[in-house]
Amino acid sequence: MKIEINGNSLELMIGDITKQSTEAIVNAANGTLMGGGGVDGAIHQAAGSDLVEECKKIREEDLDGNYLRTGKAVITKGYNLPAKFVIHTVGPVWDGNKQSAKERLVHAYNNSLKLAMENRITSVSFPSISTGVYRYPVQLASVVAINAIIDFLQNNTFGKVVLTLFSEKDYQAYEDALKKKLSNL
Ligand code: ADP
C-alpha cells in the first residue's frame, strides 16, 4: 500500500530491510549499539564488521561511553548494505505502561526522521520498532508508528518513507492502522 501526504510518500511492504535501497534504513538497535538479535543482528550481519567499529566509536566519542538512550537516534554509514546510511534508534521495551511506551516510541520515529532530514536524506525504511524482542504489541505499536510518521510528513518536506514489515501479520496490523488514520484525516 502506498499513499501521498503533503508531497511525500508513505509505503507499506513486506520484506527484508537489509535488502532495501532507500538512502537510509533504520535499525531497531539496543542501547549498546553492538548488535544483537532480530533486525539488529541481520543489519550488522549484512553491513559487515565496519559497522560495529563505527558504532563503538560513537559510543566512545559522542556518548562518553554510555548507552544510547531509548528514543534517541544516531547515524552511521551502511557499508556493505544497499542503503548508504543506517540510523540506529532504540525503541522502548514493552512494560505494559501504554502511555510511557507510546511517548518513547514516538520519539524513536521522530528522532530518526529528524536525523535523516538533518543529513539531507530523502528516503528511509523503518522496521517495526519494538515489536520483536521488546514485546510491544504490534496492534498498538503500528498505530503509534503510523501516527508519528504521518504527523511528521504533514509538517515537513521529506521524500519517501517505507515501512518494511517482516510478516503478513505485521503488514496487516500496519495496513489497518494506516486505513484507520486515513479515514480520520
Ligand atoms: P525490537 O528489539 O525493537 O523489538 P526486533 O529486531 O526484535 O526489535 O524486532 C523488530 C521487528 O523487526 C520484528 O517485527 C521482527 O520480525 C522484524 N525483523 C527481523 N528481521 C528483520 C529484517 N531482516 N527486515 C525487516 N524486519 C525484520
* pLDDT for the residue 111: 98
Residues 74 and 88 sit within 8 Å (Cβ to Cβ): yes
Q: What is the rounded CA–CA span in Å between residue 20 and residue 83?
A: 6
Instruction: Kindly tell me if the per-residue pLDDT of 12 is higher than 90.
Output: yes
The model's pLDDT over 149-171, given as tens digits with 9 standing for 90+, comes to 999 999 999 999 999 999 999 99
Q: Is 179 helix (H, G, I), strand (E, B) or coil?
A: helix
Q: What is the rounded CA–CA span in Å between residue 167 and residue 14?
A: 6
* pLDDT for the residue 21: 97
* pLDDT for the residue 157: 98
Alpha helices, DSSP H, located in 9-158 = 38-47, 50-61, 98-118, 138-155
- For residue 99 the three cell numbers come to 502511555
* pLDDT for the residue 85: 99
How many whole angstroms from 38 Cα to the centroid of ligand 1?
Answer: 5
Instruction: Kindly tell me if the per-residue pLDDT of 135 is higher than 90.
Output: yes
* pLDDT for the residue 43: 98
* pLDDT for the residue 185: 85
The model's pLDDT over 18-44, given as tens digits with 9 standing for 90+, comes to 999 999 999 999 999 999 999 999 999
Q: Whose CA is nearest to atom 26 of ligand 1?
A: 166
The model's pLDDT over 49-72, given as tens digits with 9 standing for 90+, comes to 999 999 999 999 999 999 999 999
The model's pLDDT over 80-100, given as tens digits with 9 standing for 90+, comes to 999 999 999 999 999 999 999
- What does each C-alpha distance from 177 to 1, 131, 132, 148, 181 come to in angstroms? 12, 15, 18, 12, 6
Catalytic residues: 40
How many whole angstroms from 37 Cα to the centroid of ligand 1?
Answer: 8
Q: Compute the chain's Rg from CA coordinates.
A: 15
Global pTM reads 0.98
Q: What are the pocket residues of ligand 1 if the criterion is a CB atom closer than 6 Å to any ligand atom?
A: 16-18, 28, 38-40, 42, 91, 127-134, 164, 166, 170
- Residues 127-153 have a mean pLDDT of 98
Instruction: Kindly tell me if the per-residue pLDDT of 103 is higher than 90.
Output: yes
